[in-house]
Amino acid sequence: NEIYLNGLADVLPGLPTDLTRLAGAAEAKLSATSFGYLAGAAGSEATARANREAFDRWRIVPRMLRDVAERDLSVTVLGTPMPAPVLLAPIGVQSILHPDGELATARAAAATGLTAILSTAASHTMEDVAEAGGDGPRWYQLYWPKDRELAASFLDRAKAAGYTALVVTVDTFTLAWRPRDLDRAYLPFLRGIGVANYFSDPVFQRAVGGPVTDENRQVALLHWIGQFGNPSLTWDDLAWLREQWDGPIALKGIQHADDARRAVDTGMDGVVVSNHGGRQVDGAVASLDALPAVVDAVGGQIGVLFDSGVRTGADVAKALALGADAVLLGRPYAFGLALDGEAGVRHVLRCVLAELELTLALSGHRTVSELSLDFLARA
Ligand code: FNR
C-alpha cells in the first residue's frame, strides 16, 4: 500500500522490488572483493545454482473463493512467538558490505520485528549489535572455537547481551574451497574484518598476552585463524554445549535424516536445514531437496528451520509447505545492506513479507499453518 500511495506522489521505491534483481544492483556498487565474498559459493557453485533450481521444480497451485480477508503470518519457532516465519540468517563480516554492517541489520530487523541471528564472525561485537537492536529479538550463531573456554565465554557474553537462542553452525569447521575468495587471497579475512567478537573477548585476550593493539595484532590474527574452526567436534560434544546454554539450541547445516534424528537424541531443540548457501560442499544436494526427509525424520519433535536459496515470498511459502517452521533469509538482505544500509535491509525484509502475505492470500490461505503439500505440484 505504501508503494501505491507513494506512486500517487510520483515517489518510486529506490531499490528493486523484484528481489532476484538485487544481486545485479549490488554488483554495480560493491568492489569485486566484497561482491565476490557475498555472492560467491564453493567450487563450481553448482550447489548454489541447485538451491535455486530446486525451488523452480515446485509450483504453487492456487485455491479460490476461501475468504482470505483476514491474514496472519505469525508463528512460534523454538518456543519464540514471531510476527512472520522469516529470520535473518547469520552473515559474517558485514562491514565489508556497508560500514554500519551488523548494526544496520539489527536495527532493520528490530524495526520489522524479525529475529536477526548474529554471526560469531561479525564485524561488530555482539554487545554493540545488541545495543543497536534494542528491544528487537536476537539469536546468536556460534562458530565453535577449538578452546572450550573461549566457546563458554562467547555463550556467557551472548546470554548477558540478551540473545535468547543459540544456532550452532556445524557445517563450517573450516572454510571450503571458495574460488572467488581464494582468487583474492581472502583479503577481508586476513585484514581481520570478522574478528570483533574474538578480539574483544577476555579469554581470547589472555591467550594473546592482553588487549589487541598494533603490537600483537599479527599474533592475534594467527591465533584467531587457529581458533576459528574445530574439525574434531562430534555429537558427543553437544552434551557439554547443552550444559552451557539453557535456552533453545538449533544445529545449522543439517542435510541428512539420520543427522536430524541425532539432533533429537542429543537434546537439541531444532535444526536448520541448510547447505550454507552452497558455500561449503560443492556438488551437495540442494537444500530444499533435503528438507522433506528431515521433516519426516524429526516427526515434529523439534523445530525445523530452512535456508539456502530463498529469494522471494513465494520461496518462503514453498519451504513452509514442505514442512519448515520458518526460513532464514541470507544473501538478499545482505544485498540490501550493501545497497542502502539499514534502509536497504528494511526494504528487502518488507518486500519479502509483503510478497509472502500476497502469495498466501492469492493462493487461498489465511495463515502459514494452512500450508501443506496440497499447496504444491511438481513442475
Ligand atoms: C553466510 N552464512 C553464514 N552462516 C553462519 O552460520 N555464519 C556465518 O558467519 C555466515 N556467514 C555468511 C556470509 C555470507 C556472505 C553468506 C552469503 C552466507 C550462511 C548463511 O547463514 C545462510 O546459510 C546462507 O546465506 C543461506 O543461503 P542464501 O539464502 O544466501 O542462498
Give the β-pairing of 80-82 and 75-77. Answer: antiparallel
Q: Which residues lie below 8 Å from residue 116, measured CB to CB, with a gap of 6+?
A: 87, 88, 102, 105, 106, 109, 110, 133, 136, 137, 138, 139
Q: Taking the CA of residue 217 as centre, how many other CA atoms within 13 Å lie in the half-sphere pointing to its CB?
A: 9
| DSSP sequence for 16-34 | -SSGGGHHHHHHHHS-HHH
The domain ranges of the chain are 19-378
Contact 289, 54 (CB under 8 A): yes
- 189 confidence band (pLDDT: 50, 70, 90): confident
Q: Is the dihedral of CA 19, 21, 22, 23 positive or negative?
A: positive
Ligand 1 atom 12: the closest Cα is on which residue?
91
3-state secondary structure of 215: coil
Q: Which residue has the cell 490461505?
A: 365
126-169 pLDDT tens trace: 999 999 999 999 999 999 999 999 999 999 999 999 999 999 99
DSSP 121: T
ipTM of the complex: 1.00
Nearest atom (ligand 1) to Cα of 274 = 23
As a whole number, mean pLDDT of residues 219-245 equals 96
| Ligand 1 atom closest to Cα of residue 92 | 9
Out of 98, 124, 223, 276, the active site residue is 276
Residue of 33, 119, 276 to test ligand 1 pocket, by largest number of atoms within 8 Å of CB: 276
pLDDT at 188: 73
| 162 in Cβ contact with 139 (< 8 Å) | no
For domain 19-378, the CATH class is alpha beta
Confidence of residue 112 (pLDDT cuts 50, 70, 90): very high
Residues 6+ apart with CB under 8 A from 10: none
**pLDDT-above-70 percentage for the chain:** 100
Mutation pick for ligand 1 pocket among 19, 186, 249, 279 (CB with most ligand atoms within 8 Å): 279
Distance of alpha carbon 263 from alpha carbon 110, whole angstroms: 30
Is the pLDDT assigned to residue 190 strictly greater than 80? no
One-letter amino acid at 105 equals: T
Angle between helices 126-133 and 101-112 (to 10 degrees): 30
323-364 tens-digit pLDDT: 999 999 999 999 999 999 999 999 999 999 999 999 999 999
CA of 37 to the centre of ligand 1 (A): 11
3-state SS, residue 136: coil
The C-alpha atoms of residue 195 and residue 95 are separated, in whole angstroms, by: 11
C-alpha of residue 336 to centroid of ligand 1, in Å: 15
- Residue 12 is given by DSSP the state P
Q: How many CB atoms lie within 10 A of CB 244?
A: 16
Q: Is residue 191 scored above 90 in pLDDT?
A: no
Predicted confidence (pLDDT) at residue 105 exceeds the cutoff of 90? yes
The binding-site residues of ligand 1, defined as CB within 6 angstroms of any ligand atom, are 37-38, 51, 89-92, 119, 121, 141, 169, 252, 274, 276-277, 279, 307-310, 328, 330-331
365 is catalytic: no
pLDDT digits (tens, 9 = 90+) for 28-63: 999 999 999 999 999 999 999 999 999 999 999 999
Tell me if 323 sits within 8 A of 292, measured CB to CB: yes
Q: Dig out the grid coordinates for 54 from the structure.
A: 530446486
Rounded to the nearest angstrom, the distance between the alpha carbon of 352 and the centre of ligand 1 is 18
**How remote is the CA of residue 89 from the centroid of ligand 1, in Å?**
6
pLDDT tens digits along 4-26:
899 999 999 999 999 999 999 99
